[in-house]
Amino acid sequence: MERYREHSVFPPSTWMLHNYLLFTQLQLPTNTEIDAVDFLNGARFACDFAVNTMYSTEFVNYATGVISESPAAEKMKSGLSETCYDAFLFAMKQTSKTGNRFTLKQLDINGVYLHDVHWERMSLADLKQEEALEAFNRAQENVVVNPMEHIEPEDEAVMIERLRLDVQFEAVEHLEVDTAEAEDQVVEKNSSAVWRFESLVTQPDDVDWRIVSVL
């Protein structure tokens, strides 16, 4: 716990009791040890990369259909859930419809903190059903999906553990705004958001963090 305080793992405004609760919840995985300092270092890099990629000309052109392939988009997609990735694409499509263009000139990261911890234990069958329902909700076609189709009887007895870590990401975005009505200008946008990372933690080899939402 002392190491976590030294590395400013928790937001400076939270109560000490709440920080102890988060620390305790991090110990819940049965076989996997989670180091919040190492995790936040990785989360900082992931958030930085996602924000810079989202504002990049290549990603905007890909989101709006100007280009059909984007290595940057593929790399970002590998670290996001499909729902989160689709939300990023949608956001840039909507922004482009306004006629304004935003270029990120600089990103100042002021803080990356552990905001909340969610640990759960479920059967493999429940996980497969959850994933099937998510796929159904994402589908654009009117298709019928049987969430039990790929669930085997033995999946009910296989237990897995999942961890969701909410990261408070504080930053200042220096944006160059290109509009048709006025001269280009650079604005500073204070950004405060909670990025949710998720991974299976049943065994150490299962750990593979991805961003599932940004609130």
For 107-149, the pLDDT digits (tens) are: 999 999 999 999 999 999 999 888 888 877 777 655 555 655 6
**Shortest CA distance to 168 belongs to which of 68, 75, 51, 47?**
47
Q: Give the pLDDT confidence of 138-191 residue by residue, as tens digits.
A: 776 555 556 556 788 888 889 999 999 999 999 999 999 988 777 778 899 999
Q: Give the pLDDT confidence of 18-65 residue by residue, as tens digits.
A: 999 999 999 999 999 999 999 999 999 999 999 999 999 999 999 999
Share of the chain above pLDDT 70, in %: 94
pTM (2 d.p.): 0.89
Residue 126 makes CB contacts below 8 A (sequence gap 6+) with: none
Query: Which stretches of 27-117 are DSSP H helices?
Result: 36-55, 57-63, 71-77, 82-97
* 182 token code pair: 């006025």
